Structure 1
Amino acid sequence: MKIVCIGAGPGGLYFAISAKLRDAGHDITVIERDPPGATYGWGVVYGEDLLDTLYRNDRESARRIRAESKLWQEQIIGLRDVDKAYLPGYGYSVNRAPLLAILAERAAELGVRVQYETAVEDLAEHADADLVVVADGANSRTRQRYQEQFGTRVDYGNNPYIWLGTERVFNEFTVDFEQTPAGWVWFHAYPSADGISTFIVECTESTWRALGLDRADDAEMRRLLEQIFAGPLRGHSLISQSRGKPASWQRFAQVFNQTWRYDNAVLIGDAAHTTHFTLGSGTRLAVMDGIMLAQYLLDQPETALAVKEFDEAGHAAMRSAQIAARNSMAWFERADRYTDRGAKEFCYAMAGRHGLQSPWRYQRYLVQQNLVVRKASRLVGNGQRWARARRRGEPWR
């Protein structure tokens, strides 16, 4: 089968890997508009379940990704960097640049052609392909060109946010809210590479404008945010550029498509659907799309039927995730309604933003704030990590 994949992000590259592993006879070309190494993000987070899936699907790339990943343990939610509360659990994060390099290298090893600095303006350019996989992100130009055929709707969130980096290493997943005369500003931070953490700043639009962030240039923006977050940053600076142009303020794009297929093309990843960054599931869902589509192509010899089944199953699987994402985004858009309470109550409200909480969960949560219980929870987490790493046959880290 001749397959063209538009976009060399995690979804597109991992689809190419997965399809080649299932049928080495596929003729697959991945086309990317940007040059190699160009990525405008920092770290992405993922959990143990995705790591299990990566090892089952392609042990070689999974091993390399895990070697580049950083572990974070526990979540810390702070108000003014003084009043803090804690949530148990752990996860992994990996810098986007080495992740893409690993996937591109693995795809090439399997015989996939990856063409950089090549733009695709029209699906007609690849009318001879049996399948065109559109994986060029939330701002997909291909999807925009055919938005009527895909039934596309894009809604934008209210809060401005910006992806930055910092040399302050956060060993825990940290969310901290700081009060300014103009309103509350907060960040989401986690480790993403040696000596570097991802640092996502968010606030309401009224606060953003009142602080002058809508008018500030890159240097002014970083200086102001460094002042606001002086306590949590512990004297470290913020980094704007990540192998590309300086970071810019964005509003989250909620992408919905009535169908993911049109003619010989199919959407996957953020081109097909998005979930708010506070869920940390965008990369996971893109990778899962790639695996699922590759499997349907293997199981169903008729390509059109395989894509139809993928479309229907994918839409069904995404419903709960997108509902949770909308709830999460909406909670952060009105987070200042909860900042008049202490960190423990504030943190519990944030943890319950996805739905109703049973009364017993609150009692358990209060117990989890105890230092001894927190240390015991970390030990339990370490045991779980060891057991799952051993089951995968990976070295213990």
Structure 2
Amino acid sequence: MKVACVGGGPGSLYFSILMKRVDPSHDITVYERNPVNSTYGWGVTFGDELLSYLHVADPESARAISESLVSWDSWVTHVHDRATVTEQAEEGFGISRHRLLAILAERARALGVRVEFQREIAGEAELADADLVVAGDGVNSVLRERHADHFGTEVTVERNTYIWLGTTKVFDSFIFAFVETDHGWLWCYGYRFSEDRSTCVIECSPATWRGLGLDQTNETDSLALLEKLFADILDGHPLIGRSQADGSAHWLNFRTLTNRRWYHDNLVLLGDAAHTTHFSIGAGTALALEDAAFLVNALHGDPRLQPALARYERQRRSAIRKLQRAARYSAQWYENLPRYIDLPPLELIALQARRESALLAHVPPRLYYRMGQTIESLYGCRHWLGSKLGRTRHAD
């Protein structure tokens, strides 16, 4: 099979690796429009379950990834001027997005995949000789948008604003920090991804963003203000932004994307081109890698292309539906932070851990907390308020 993968992210690269492992005769090219090492983002998170799966799917790339991981086994929550709470948790892992992509690209090339950087593909006509075109070109997928009506693409723009930053502060734990200002609350998700860098994702409501003037300030001034607000966790270390040609800060509103269909003729969607989940549960990279594995299994389970793509669409849409729903509830919890922020710190943290619950938004927060305490006391359900799985999925 001749395969063209458009977009050089983790999903496309991992798909090319697994396809070559199953059948080295596949002719596969990955096209990435940006230069090498120009990826956005800072760190990517992994859990034990994903790592175990990667070791089964392709042990060689999994070993290289494991050797580059840093880890943490606790969660620290700061509620400004009120409390700092530390919790033990299952081990979490971080890796530089640059390093992850370099590992996957190197492994793909070693298996015979061609990886072409600075090569933009505007439409399938440029790939007319390909038996299969994999659109792994992200939430703004050009190939998907050419057939948006067929795919049934729907995009919901979330209310809060956020900015994805790095820092030279190396966090020993996964950090949540809530900071109050005269214009409302901001909060930070922080985790290390290398021996000398960490990720900081900072989020706030539109009213807080505008009230602090962050909608008007350039990146330099924005970072200076954020460094001051989060001084307690940064310990004097700087925040690092993304260079913008006009000097503006890269504030965003998260876009939740769904598609009714995932394939059209020989074009199939993968990763963020097919679906997105809010960064507060940190599942984006994991889902893209799982998409790749499902697609390879479907293609090699049925030699007929259309039935294979239909199977992939059916299985993956079903597999991620629950997680997409949980991500929406998680985003809504942060959008409604004033409902919870004045709770005692331990109650706030417990309900933050259960933010993926459909029930939480409809029950008074303190009553919901007491319900959990009662169930825990009666049945010994120690993790009712804090699913370990939920606590190990965060911004990536």
The answer as to whether partners of 1:268 and 1:289 remain within 8 angstroms in 2 is: yes
Q: How far apart, CA to CA, are the structure 2 residues paired with 1:242 and 1:47?
A: 30
**1:205 — aligned with what?**
206
Secondary structure class of the residue paired with 2:221: helix
Deviation at 1:362, TM superposition (A): 5.5
Where do residues 324-339 of structure 1 align in structure 2 (5 Å cutoff)? Answer: 324-339=326-341
Distance 1:243 1:218, change over 3 A: closer
**2:364 — aligned with what?**
none
The answer as to whether partners of 2:135 and 2:267 remain within 8 angstroms in 1 is: yes
Question: Cα deviations across residues 33-68 of structure 1 (Å, max 9, x unaligned)?
Answer: 101111110001110011001100111110111111
The answer as to whether partners of 2:222 and 2:249 remain within 8 angstroms in 1 is: no
Deviation at 1:359, TM superposition (A): 3.9
**2:346 — aligned with what?**
344
Q: How far apart, CA to CA, are the structure 1 residues paired with 2:340 and 2:171?
A: 25
RMSD of equivalent CA atoms: 2.2
The answer as to whether partners of 2:132 and 2:267 remain within 8 angstroms in 1 is: yes
**Aligned-pair identity (%):** 42
Secondary structure class of the residue paired with 2:321: helix
The answer as to whether partners of 1:22 and 1:295 remain within 8 angstroms in 2 is: no
Deviation at 1:223, TM superposition (A): 0.3
Distance 1:367 1:48, change over 3 A: closer
Where do residues 21-36 of structure 1 align in structure 2 (5 Å cutoff)? Answer: 21-36=21-36
Q: How far apart, CA to CA, are the structure 2 residues paired with 1:75 and 1:270?
A: 28
Q: How far apart, CA to CA, are the structure 2 residues paired with 1:359 and 1:317?
A: 31
Deviates more, 1:220-229 or 1:335-344: 335-344
Higher relative contact order (CA 8 A, sep 6+): 1
Deviation at 1:297, TM superposition (A): 1.1
Paired positions, count = 370
Deviation at 1:25, TM superposition (A): 0.8
Indicate which of 244, 257, 260 corresponds to 1:258: 260
**1:20 — aligned with what?**
20
**2:362 — aligned with what?**
none
| TM-score, normalised via structure 1 length | 0.89
Unaligned 5+ residue runs, structure 1?
369-376, 378-397
Deviation at 1:145, TM superposition (A): 2.2
Distance 1:366 1:246, change over 3 A: farther
**2:134 — aligned with what?**
133
Q: How far apart, CA to CA, are the structure 1 residues paired with 2:173 and 2:375?
A: 22
Letter of the aligned partner of 2:95 in structure 1? V
Distance 1:114 1:246, change over 3 A: farther
Q: How far apart, CA to CA, are the structure 2 residues paired with 1:281 and 1:185?
A: 22
Distance 1:263 1:44, change over 3 A: same
| TM-score, normalised via structure 2 length | 0.89
Q: How far apart, CA to CA, are the structure 2 residues paired with 1:11 and 1:229?
A: 34
Q: How far apart, CA to CA, are the structure 1 residues paired with 2:202 and 2:381?
A: 27
**2:392 — aligned with what?**
none
Letter of the aligned partner of 1:10 in structure 2? P
Distance 1:28 1:360, change over 3 A: farther
Where do residues 171-182 of structure 1 align in structure 2 (5 Å cutoff)? Answer: 171-182=172-183
Question: Cα deviations across residues 137-192 of structure 1 (Å, max 9, x unaligned)?
Answer: 11212212221111100111101101101111111111110001111011000001
The answer as to whether partners of 2:123 and 2:142 remain within 8 angstroms in 1 is: no
The answer as to whether partners of 2:244 and 2:250 remain within 8 angstroms in 1 is: no
The answer as to whether partners of 2:161 and 2:253 remain within 8 angstroms in 1 is: yes
- 1:72 and 2:72 equivalent? yes
- 1:123 and 2:133 equivalent? no
Deviation at 1:127, TM superposition (A): 2.4
Deviation at 1:242, TM superposition (A): 7.7
Secondary structure class of the residue paired with 1:227: helix
**1:285 — aligned with what?**
287
Letter of the aligned partner of 1:196 in structure 2? R
Deviation at 1:318, TM superposition (A): 1.2
Letter of the aligned partner of 2:166 in structure 1? G
**1:294 — aligned with what?**
296
Indicate which of 305, 324, 333 corresponds to 2:307: 305
